Copies of this chain bind each other. A is one copy, B any other.
Amino acid sequence: MIRTGILGAAGYTGGELIRLLLNHPEVEIVFANSESNAGNKIYEVHEGLLGDTELEFTSEMPFDQVDVVFFCFGHGKSEAFLKEHEIPANVKIIDLAQDFRIGPLHLPQGGKPQGEGYVYGLPEAYKEMIVKAHHLANPGCFATCIQLGLLPLAKAGLLTHDIAVNAITGSTGAGQKPGATTHFSWRNNNFSIYKLFTHQHLHEICQTLNELRPGTTPRVVDTLDEGFEQEGITVDFIPYRGDFARGIFCTEVITLDQPKSAEEIANLYKAYYQDAAFTHYSDKALDLKQVVNTNKALVHTEVFGRKVVVTSMIDNLLKGAVGQAVQNMNLMFNIDEKAGLNLKASAF
């Protein structure tokens, strides 16, 4: 049994992680830390756990009793936490925030990653490194979905023009704290845009695309920081707020130098993902609920002359967050990559 500890256990990702780990056949939850909820039953905070567990939140963090600890903090707090607390050297860390996603350890290096570095936890790109990882930075939800739509083309060297990305996210992507744009009266039956062309996930997306194909430099469009005539292609990302709770539905439009057939493109994707545990190519057009409440990603492609239109989609809380974190844990502990992740789709 893998002995696990959870920090930030009272938040959205903390709750979903507990829902997964309670049914994981090879995991024991040793502690679920939440200062403000210490002593309360977990089912009093997290929906759907009444009757499943009598576990309580704790204020303790007995790191000596665990094999791995999950950081379910808000962004920026993981790094701060590590400055104030010492985690024993033998305890693995899986960080769900964005604190350690950017950095040199993402490059394939052959050898075992050093203790300090964080491996970027996208199995479809870095599985060999993840298996050896001691510290892991779990990817962002948009970043996961968009990269899964682009990886096969990136590896094939076909990303040579600006990429048009449109991605719609459910409200759980905005976290637990209530606010104007998550108020039901406003968001119900509504649609809007935020962080247009400047979403922070662009950095980790471009990092991966650069590593897979260094020839051209995909970059974030940013009129504030960069001159316009800079070299490289841009990832033009429009993030939308959808009026559903779970899921990300994404289109990526890529312009090729030369037209390719629909079959050539589809075959690139099928080959790239043939061994992927949770990412599958679909021959038919997709709809979001096919992946909701699962750890799966589905991708589909259509070709119009030089234009390739990719659709990719995930559940933002699972493959876009804690599902992928558990998948990474499974890889890091050399157990079945799908253990605890054979989830029934909600479908409706």
Contact = CB atoms under 8 A, between A and B. Distances in A.
Which of A190, A222, A286 has the most chain B CB atoms inside 10 A of its CB? A190
A186 interface: yes
Given A23-B342, A253-B164, A309-B238, A189 B48 contact: no
A245 B197 contact: no
Interface of A: 12, 15-16, 19-20, 23, 44, 46-52, 162, 164, 166, 168, 170-172, 174, 176, 178-180, 182-194, 196-197, 221-223, 228, 234, 236, 238, 240, 242-247, 249, 251, 253, 255, 259, 278, 280, 282, 284-294, 296, 298, 302-307, 309, 311, 313, 317, 342-348
How many protomers of this protein does the assembly include? 4
Contacts of A16: 347
Given A196-B302, A253-B236, A191 B293 contact: no
Secondary structure of the A side of the interface?
loop
A348 B186 CA distance: 6
B309 A345 contact: no
A14 B77 CA distance: 40
A104 to B, nearest CB: 29
A299 to B, nearest CB: 11
